[in-house]
Copies of this chain bind each other. A is one copy, B any other.
Amino acid sequence: MPTIGIVNVNTSSSMTQTIVDAARTVAAPDTTVIGVTPATGPESVETHIEAALSQVGVITAVHRRHTAPVTTGTPAIDAWIIAGYGDEGREALQELVDVPVVDITEAAAVAAMAVGDRYAVVTTLDRTVPMIRGRLQLAGLHERCVSVRGTGLGVLELEEDPERTDRIILDLARQALTDGAEAVCLGCGGMAGRAHELTARLGAPVVDGVTAAVGIAESLVRQGLTTSRTGTYAPRSPKKLTGFEELEIP
């Protein structure tokens, strides 16, 4: 009975709800999905500064939830999903908690590679393209990626006119097929919930990183796998963290 925590990377609780809703549509019947919204940070993450500031809120929120007393209403989290596409943060959470952590950028790539030879990513602003490409490269999942394309839409604009958003995404997705992609990832946590309809309209698999991450998180839990502590994620030595004392990170 896996309990999956999903941490949003921005402070928008409505976006957290969108993400959790999408996650629940694909969770196994015995899986519980719990959403967490950071108390601090940017209202959307689209730049390197925002990604940096976002991380502190994400770490804090996960730390608090993960160290909260387990009660009937607040079950222990068995795995975390970090719902920022192309953002940093997975590695820090892997250090922080004793359960698996799954990144939606990576999960989307894994699902896309399972259903097509090469894949593409359609994301928000062009400026995030190098951030996403960088994450995929670091994750060793970039080789089969033919392109990362920006829609020019900001994260917060996605919901303004959903049909226009879908049309713009579809346009780029079709170009991606021409690039040689056979599947397309939605490059933003805020695009969660659109994959089904877009798949139908595109005629090729459209992958949502949030729903892709749920199955991987469940799977790691059921396999009993947890983050390796033999290398870069070894336990930290206690150390003075000026300004973050309340975090109580050992």
Contact = CB atoms under 8 A, between A and B. Distances in A.
Interface of A: 11, 26-31, 39-44, 46-53, 55-57, 59, 88-89, 91-92, 94-96, 100, 102, 106, 110-111, 113-118, 126-131, 134, 137-144, 154, 177, 180, 182-183, 195-196, 199, 203-205, 207-208, 211-212, 214-216, 218-220, 222-234, 236-237, 239-244, 249
Contact of A228 (B95, B142, B204, B231): B204
Given A117-B231, A117-B232, A92 B51 contact: yes
Contact of A249 (B49, B100, B116): B49
B232 A110 contact: no
Given A50-B241, A138-B138, A139-B144, 6 more contacts: A113-B139, A116-B227, A205-B228, A211-B222, A212-B219, A215-B219
A222 B215 contact: yes
Contact of A243 (B57, B144, B242): B57
A120 to B, nearest CB: 12
A33 B158 CA distance: 40
Contacts of A236: 46-47, 49-50
Chain copies in complex: 6
Contacts of A196: 224
Nearest to A215: B219
Contacts of A46: 236-237
Contacts of A239: 42-44, 50
Contacts of A96: 49
Contact of A222 (B28, B106, B141): B28
A52 B92 contact: yes
A140 B129 contact: no
B130 A117 contact: yes
